[in-house]
Amino acid sequence: MVPLGVVFMGGGSGGHLYPALAIAERVRDEAPDARFVHLCSERDIDAQILEAERAEFVPVPARPPGRSPGAMVRFMRSWGPSVRTARDVFRELGAEGRRVVPVAMGGFVAAPCVRGASAERLDVLMTNLDAVPGLANRWIAKRAHTIVTAAPVAGRDWQRVPPIVRRAAIPSDPPAACRERLGLDANTPTLLVTGGSQGARSLNTLLLALAQHESAPLGGWQVIHQTGEDANPDIAGIYERAGIRARVSEYLDDMASAWGAADLALARAGAGSVGEAWASATPCVFVPYPHHKDQHQRKNAFPLVEAGGAELIDDLMDPARTLDEGLETLADLLTSEASRERMRTALVSLGPADGAQRIARLILDRAKT
């Protein structure tokens, strides 16, 4: 087998980085001598995630396009330097005698890097994560040699794979052990709240409204709450005054324990959260981000909702209104173990979330040709 040099192109959020890390670990199982390089953005979140994973990365100066003249100028000025940075990485790996495999993970970082791959006459493997491809992926799809998608995409015959989930987000221990690892009571029902790697302010305020609601639907529960930055600094105090045991943190490193501890989750419907709910068979109430024009988060959640493993609540951007609309759904799931068990069974029936393994096989096959 020819030594591999796998270049993951994408960044700006954990949603682009964690799937790449998941694919890399599956490739490494069979090709321990492979070298992996992540072409990512210059945002702090990228360095934070990739350094924690001890992954090799090269930031590119790519900027997202925007409607304002200033944003478009920054996008255009960053394009050329981003292409050149990508080409330098491809050439370095090629000079080592490696079979270079560029893997586009979507987003504004990926597009100029794909242009660099094309200039080096390299075949691009595009991995689509959302049910509605973004502008970058629609552009990349016209230039990719192979396209796989981890979500159903209307009107496209792209190769479908299950969700792409890293091992560090898949529980391997019983719920009681996961709860104790997070400093919680082993036997108390547990709600996981996550807005993704960067958190979600409206989810934070929704949970605080739920914690303080007069009907006390969280009575008898404990909470794992990943808030993201710029959250109300008194979230932990609000839970304490409401008599609710809670593990509150800006960022969760141990997602396997978080999902493993949870009897129920309340989450955004980014591809990462949807995949992790599927992989852990955790009943979930998804509250999709409401301001995406294409509503791709809502569509990301559809496979789980249609299977009976998840529910949807509209984020009305006002905690009182959102809670008023969603209280019946939340109260039912918080009080009915039978309802949660039906949802868990439905999620198990979807099969394993082994998209990372399937994409790794496509990469490994490149090394044989």
Each residue of 268-284: pLDDT tens digit? 998 999 999 999 999 99
| Closest to 127 in 3D by CA, of 261, 246, 19, 212 | 19
Q: Compute the average pLDDT of residues 97-104.
A: 98
What pLDDT shows up at residue 217? 85
The shares of helix, strand and coil residues in the chain, as percent rounded to the nearest 5, are 45, 15, 40
Q: Using 50, 70 and 90 to split pLDDT, how confident is the model at 205?
A: confident
- Contact 289/202 with Cβ under 8 angstroms? no
What are the structural domains, with CATH classification, of the chain? 4-164+353-366 (3.40.50.2000), 168-348 (3.40.50.2000)
Q: Whole-model pTM?
A: 0.89
Task: Determine the Cα–Cα distance for residues 130 and 137; give it in Å rounded to an integer.
Answer: 10
Q: Using 50, 70 and 90 to split pLDDT, how confident is the model at 197?
A: low
Q: Using 50, 70 and 90 to split pLDDT, how confident is the model at 187?
A: very high
**Residue 42 DSSP label:** S
What pLDDT shows up at residue 13? 86
Each residue of 301-356: pLDDT tens digit? 999 999 999 999 988 778 888 888 888 999 999 999 999 999 999 999 999 999 99
- Contact 10/64 with Cβ under 8 angstroms? no
- Contact 239/259 with Cβ under 8 angstroms? no
Is 295 a residue whose pLDDT tops 80? no
- Contact 244/207 with Cβ under 8 angstroms? no
**Residue 145 DSSP label:** S
Q: Out of 104-118, 141-155, 284-298, 355-369, which region has the weakest mean confidence (pLDDT)? A: 284-298
Task: Determine the Cα–Cα distance for residues 75 and 68; give it in Å rounded to an integer.
Answer: 11
Q: How far is CA 92 from the centre of its chain?
A: 30
Q: Compute the average pLDDT of residues 247-259.
A: 91
Query: Which residue reads 């044989």 in tokens?
Result: 368
Task: Determine the Cα–Cα distance for residues 20 and 136; give it in Å rounded to an integer.
Answer: 17
User: Which positions ≥6 away from 220 have C-beta within 8 Å?
Assistant: 188, 189
Beta strands in 133-242 (DSSP E): 146-149, 159-160, 190-194, 222-226
